[in-house]
Chains A and B, each alone.
Chain A
Amino acid sequence: MIRIILRQLSIFASSLLGIIFIFFLLTQLIPGDPVVLNYGNLTPGSFEYERAAESLGVNQSFFDQFYLYLKRVLSGDFGYSLITNRSVLDEFLTFFPATLELSIFASLIALILGVSLGVFAAVRKGTWLDNLVMSSSLVGYSMPIFWWGMLLILFFSLDLGWAPVAGRISYVYDIEPVTGFMLIDSLYAYPKYEFAAFYNALSHLVLPAFVLATVPLAAIARMTRSSMIEVLNADYILTAKAKGVSDTKIIWVHGLRNALIPMVTIIGLQSSVLLTGAILTETIFAWPGIGKWMVEAIFRRDFPTIQGGVLLIAFFVVLINASVDFLYAVINPRMRRPK
C-alpha cells in the first residue's frame, strides 16, 4: 500500500514539475515585454517597473528565471489579473465551485445512465434494444456539444419554456456564496419560502449538466457494454450460473463489479473531456465558471489570468488522474500482489 502511495506521489510531483516547466516555456514565447504582460502598463524606468522586473528576474539567466517562477507558483502566487487587479488564485476559487458543481452533476448523470444503459445493452445483446442503445450512443459520442446545447435551449427553453436559458439562479434570489455550490447555498438562503430557491437553482442546472454529460455518457455506455459482454463470457459467471445464482445477482454483483474495474481508468480520463466540455457548455449557458472566465480572459488579453488559470486547471486534472490511478490500484485485487 505504501509503495503504491509513494509511486503515485512521485508520478504526481514529476507531472506537476513538467507542467510548470512547459508553462514557463510558453510564457517565454508570448510576444511583448514580460513586465507589461504580467503587471500591466507600467512606464519603463519607473520605480514600479523596476520592482516588477526584479521580481520576474527579467535580466537574469533562463534557469534563474525558471527558479523564480517555480518559487512563485509553489508559494501560491499565480499573478494578478490585469482587468480586476485581484489575485488569479482568488478569482479561480470564486469561479471554480460553479464548474465543479456542473461537472459533478454531469458525471453523476453520465455514470448512472451510462452504466445502466451499457449493462442493459450487454444483457440484451443483438436485440433491437441493444441496437437502439448503441446507435444513440454513437450519435451522442459524435455530438458537437455547443450545437447540442443550442438545440436543447431552442426546444426546452424557448419553445416549451420548461427550463431557464442561462445563469445559475434567477436574479430574484440574492444568494450569499458560502460554499460556492448553488444547490447547497440556496437550501438555507430563504427559509421562509421553503425550497423555492433550491428548485430554481436545480432547474438552472439540469439542462447544462445534461449537455455536458452527453459525450461521457455515450462513451461510458459503449465501454460498459463491451466490458460487460467480455465478463459475462468468463468462466466464473458460468460457475455462478451452475451454482444457481439468480440472473439479477449475476448481472449486478458478479458481472458489473468485474466489468467496472478496467473502466475506472477510462472514467478518470473523462475528467479531462468534462473540463473541455465545460468551457463550451459554460459559454452557451452563461454559466459563471472557469471555462467562461478563461474565454473572457482571452478576449480581454488578460495574460496573467490565462496563464495562472490554465496552470491551476492542469494541476486539478493531474490531481484527478493521480487519484484515479490510486483508486484503481486499491480496488483491483489483481494489482495487489503478495510480496
Chain B
Amino acid sequence: MNEVILYKETPIPGRWKQFWGKFRRNKGALSGFIFLCFMVLMAVFSPLIAPFDPAEQFTEYLRTPPAWYENGINHFIFGTDDLGRDLLSRVIHGSRLSLGLSATVVIIAASLGILLGAIAGLLRGTLEFIILRFMDVILAIPSLLLAIVIVAIMGPGLPNAVYAVAIVLIPHFVRIVRAAIKEEMSKDYVIAARLDGASPIRLFTHSIFPNILPPLIIQLTLAFSTALVDIAALGFLGLGAQPPNPEWGTILSQSRDFIQLAPWTVTIPGLAILLTVMSINLMGDGLRDALDPKDHRE
C-alpha cells in the first residue's frame, strides 16, 4: 500500500472574514445587526407589510386600545390613535421616514465631512485653519439648538430639518478624517506612494482612505443613531416632519395630548425609536471591538 501523505491546508482568513468572525462572537452586536436589518427591510417594503394606509381613518374605532388590552380588537394590533388611524401601519410607514431620513443625513454629513477633512489634512495652512475654526464653532453650539436655528432661518419642514441635522454632524467627520490623515501621512507606505509620484488626490483615495476606514465606519454608526434621535426630536418639537406625516417623533408630539386617554399611542412609537437607536449603538460597539487592531486583550 502506498502511503498517502495528507497536507492540511491552513486557511488564513481574509480581512472581511476575520472581521465577521470577531463581530459574530459579540452576541449584542449580532442581535443589534439582525434587528436593524429587520427594520431596514420593514422600511423598504412598508407599503406591502402595513395592513392599512397610514392616513386612513376608521371613525368608528377612535382610540381603540392594542389587541392585548381587554377591550382591544385583533383588527388593529397596536390600536388606533385619536383620529382612528391604525398605529401599526403608522409605525411601519414611519420607519421609512425615520430610517430613510437619518440615512440621507448621514450620507450628506459624511460626504461633506470627509471632503473637508481631506482638504484640511492634505492641504495644510490657512485653509486648514479656517475649516477647523469653523468646525469648532459648530461644535460649540449644542447640536439641537444649532438645528433649531437653521430650521428657524429656513422655516420648519422636512428638508430643512435634514440639512440642519446634517450640518451639525459634519464636524465629527472632519475631525476624524483629518486626525487619521495626519497619523497615516508619516507612515512608510504613504511615503513610498509619494516617492512613486502619487498626487495628493490619488494618495488620499488609493493609499490613505482604505486605511482610515475603521474609525470612519464607527463614526458612521454613531452619526446614524444621533441623526435618528435628532430628527425625531425636531419632529417632536414641531420643527421637523409636519403632521400627518407618520414620522416617529411627529407621532409622539401628536399623541402627547392624549397620553392619559390613549397611552399606547405614546409608548409604541417611542419604543420603536428606542429599540432602533439601541440596535445601532449595540452594532457600533461590536464594530469598534471587531475593527480595533489593538484589542486582543479580551
Contacts and interface: CB of A to CB of B under 8 A. Distances in A.
Given A298-B239, A314-B141, A138 B136 contact: no
B270 A144 contact: yes
A18 B138 CA distance: 10
A273 B145 CA distance: 10
A30 interface: yes
A8 interface: no
A275 interface: yes
Interface in B245-293: 249, 252, 256, 259-260, 263, 266-267, 269-270, 273-274, 277-278, 280-282, 285
A14 B239 CA distance: 32
A275 B274 CA distance: 21
B83 interface: no
Contacts of A2: none
A207 to B, nearest CB: 14
Interface of B: 28, 133-134, 136-137, 139-146, 148-149, 151-153, 156, 225, 229, 232-233, 236-239, 249, 252, 256, 259-260, 263, 266-267, 269-270, 273-274, 277-278, 280-282, 285
Contact of B149 (A272, A280, A306): A306
Contacts of A26: 149, 153
Say whether chain A's binding surface is mostly helix, strand, loop, or mixed: helix
A113 interface: no
B145 A150 contact: no
A154 B266 contact: yes
Interface in A133-184: 138-139, 141-144, 146-148, 150-151, 153-154, 158
B229 A144 contact: yes
A313 B148 CA distance: 13
A298 B151 contact: yes
Interface in A1-42: 14-15, 18-19, 22, 26, 29-30
A130 to B, nearest CB: 13
The residue among A15, A141, A144, A276 with the most chain B CB atoms within 10 A of its own CB is: A144
Given A18-B133, A22-B134, A138-B281, A280 B237 contact: yes
Contacts, number: 121
Interface of A: 14-15, 18-19, 22, 26, 29-30, 138-139, 141-144, 146-148, 150-151, 153-154, 158, 272-273, 275-276, 279-280, 283, 294-295, 297-299, 303, 306, 310, 313-314, 317-318, 321
Q: Which of A142, A147, A294 has the most CB of B within 10 A?
A: A147
9 contacts: A141-B281, A142-B280, A144-B270, A146-B233, A280-B236, A310-B146, A313-B142, A314-B137, A318-B140
A153 B259 contact: yes
Nearest to B151: A298
A279 B144 contact: yes
B263 A19 contact: no
